[in-house]
Amino acid sequence: QVQVAESGGGLVQPGGSLRLSCAASTSLSSINAMGWYRQAPGKQRDLVARITNGGSTNYADSVKGRFTISRDNAKNTVYLQMSSLKPEDTAVYYCNAHIDIIRGIMTRDYWGQGTQVTVSS
């Protein structure tokens, strides 16, 4: 019953920056991993960035060096700082909370409704 809600999307010019926020309804300590995914029309939903409960991060190759995922545990919030944005970054960005109820056997994923990011001149 975890709820997540994204915010911060919008229209930005190529080369610009944007910060997305994802607020969770529960402590991040109870969530095994938080991730940002994106999906463009007609394409699959892909992982953009992920941060685990332990603080480790990983990124899609296409965003390495440009995007940074971080968290504020006191606010139950995860951020995605995006810089040097490209038109191909245009997509709906979704926040995901992943919980391992029984590791490798029973998991749950909770998704936000998404926030639109459009990179265009």
SS3 60: coil
Q: What is the pLDDT of residue 13?
A: 98
Contact 118, 82 (CB under 8 A): no
Q: What is the pLDDT of residue 1?
A: 84
Contact 83, 13 (CB under 8 A): no
Number of helices and strands in the chain (H, E): 0, 11
Beta bridge partners of 33: 52, 98
pLDDT category, 4, cuts 50, 70, 90? very high
What whole-number distance in Å separates Cα of residue 5 and Cα of residue 7?
7
Q: What is the mean pLDDT of the chain?
A: 97
What whole-number distance in Å separates Cα of residue 106 and Cα of residue 99?
9
| Residue at token pair 């480790």 | 56
* Segment 40-60 mean pLDDT: 96
In the predicted model, is pLDDT for residue 104 greater than 90?
A: no
* Segment 78-103 mean pLDDT: 97
What whole-number distance in Å separates Cα of residue 90 and Cα of residue 41?
10
